[in-house]
Amino acid sequence: MGVSEETHEIAGHSEARAASKAVAAALEAQRSVSGGAPSVNAILQVMGRRPDGYATAEGPNDLTADEAVRCLLDGGAA
């Protein structure tokens, strides 16, 4: 491997590191704006299900997982 090839390889590594840092910063910014995702247990609870997926004593409701997540993100349970 020649000197120019080695320099190019190091520069490429530096660019990849800068890109990964930019992606990490963007993801952190998104999390700070949108908050965390609801937990699986919270989604199941809104759907009327226990953590193991079986219906609660009150029984399951007609919400899909997508609808349950939307309810949680909008600030409340169904």
Alpha-carbon distance of 59 to 48, in angstroms, equals 6
Alpha-carbon distance of 24 to 20, in angstroms, equals 6
- 12 pLDDT band, cuts 50/70/90, is low
pLDDT in tens, 21-77: 999 988 888 777 767 788 999 999 999 999 999 999 998 899 999 999 999 988 865
Which residues, listed in sequence order, are joined to residue 49 by a DSSP beta bridge?
Answer: 55
- Evaluate if residue 3 carries a pLDDT over 80: no
How far is C-alpha 4 from the chain's CA centre? 41
Alpha-carbon distance of 31 to 41, in angstroms, equals 20
